[in-house]
Structure 1
Amino acid sequence: MIKLYKGIESKPSLLVLHQIEVAQESSGTAQPILKKVSETLKEWDFNLALPIVCVTDEEDKYHLLTGLPIYEAAVAANLERIWVFLIAAKQAEAEKAIEHALLQSKLNDRVVEPQDVTEFLDFINNAKANLTSIPGVKDGYARLIKNNRPYNSLEDMQKKLGAKRSLNWLRAYKHKQ
């Protein structure tokens, strides 16, 4: 067990799906995404992302707090069990821990490697590249990118087009590949 905020304990745990209570019927996640995750779960027979659950008044029952799409995909994959992050506290106390977990997860973006930047700049500088194939780059941004070519480095691109926008496009480009 790991001690969390004010003595709340937590740990990764492998739970049987029927031990998990779900308040919501559906996450609203797009079916193609759920299908892709479900297929991966079938192939691997385990999940990498850990939904968060907390204890309930019933013995061996847990309340799902985060990760409903992962739970839905596990059900669709006919998994018997999934890994969860168990917070040994009632829901109200567990919600405080979730606030911190969600804040931290926003900081857990994939690392951008130097070769990712090189490939991205090669693509951006290519006159034949379909810039609108990058999620978030519409026709107007594509013209802006073309009009400011060439880009010698990511820093050069950030100066010409804006730091945040350039990084978002780099991440989107990396993710689509």
Structure 2
Amino acid sequence: MYKNIESGPGKIFLSQIKTPQVGLHNFDKKELSKLSQSLNDLKYNLALPIVSLSDEEDKFFLMTGLPIYESAIKSGLEQIWVFLIAHKKHEVEKLIEQFALQSKLNDQVIDSEDIKNFVEFLNNPESILTKIRGRGEKYAKKIESKRPYNSAEDIQKQLGPKQSLYWLTAYKEWKNQS
């Protein structure tokens, strides 16, 4: 039945996807609404849910990406991009852990321009540091007290490598949303 199917990305019809018998879990309704609007505007998805083979011909089990699937339905899409792993569901469940690990390592690239803008942002007394999601007043005061910063290395030295990376990634996310 599936002799010629290989693992890899592909576009399939939503009607070919078998989902769990449960509805959406506790997903943030605001995020889901934004996702639905994005799918409606783009007409395709950028993140690839994982699907596996089922016993039915031309049907696939949804293994990850239930919010993407639900938002695609809400947006009226007929097809979405998926990553098909050409194995049965019970075999794919073992691979999901590896997928999660690799996904964590697939963060958005931060380039030198981002770092330059970040240093300028932290040094600017007009910057409202608490506008960055997840960054509180207490830590903003600490950053202000250690100004000026000369470079990313200086920020790491002053604030610690972990905190400076958290701030930089949150800053880039905030800038991309602004």
Compute the TM-score of the two structures, normalised by the length of structure 1. Answer: 0.90
Amino acid at match of 2:112: P
CA distance in 1, matches of 2:134, 2:47: 25
Deviation at 1:173, TM superposition (A): 0.8
* CA-to-aligned-CA distance 1:50-101 (integer Å, 9 cap, x gap): 1001111122211111111111110110101111111111112111222211
Q: How does 1:54-133 map to 2 (within 5 A)?
A: 54-133=52-131
Is the CA contact 1:27–1:68 (under 8 Å) kept in the aligned structure 2?
A: no
User: How far is the alpha carbon of 1:148 from its aligned partner?
Assistant: 0.9
* Distance in 2 between residues matched to 1:27 and 1:14, nearest whole Å: 25
SS of corresponding position for 1:89: strand
Letter in 1 for 2:19: V
Separation in structure 2 between the aligned mates of residue 72 and residue 61 of structure 1, nearest angstrom = 17
Q: Which residue of 1 aligns with 2:153?
A: 155
Distance 1:148 1:121 in 2: 12
Query: TM-score, length-normalised on structure 2?
Result: 0.90
Q: Which runs of 5+ in 2 are unaligned?
A: none
2:164 to 148, 163, 166: 166
CA distance in 2, matches of 1:69, 1:166: 31
Residue 18 of structure 1: aligned partner: 15
Find the counterpart in structure 1 of residue 27 from structure 2.
Answer: 29
2: CA distance between counterparts of 1:143 and 1:76? 43
Cross-structure match for 1:135? 133
- RMSD over aligned Cα atoms: 1.5
Relative to structure 2, which stretch is displaced further, 164-173 or 93-102? 93-102
Gaps of 5+ in 1: 1-7
Runs of 4+ in 1 over 4 A off after TM superposition: none
1:3 maps to what in 2? none
Q: Structure 1 residue 9: deviation in Å?
A: 4.5
Between the aligned residues of both structures, percent identity stands at 51
Contact preservation (8 Å) 1:134, 1:176: yes
- Partner SS for 2:10: strand
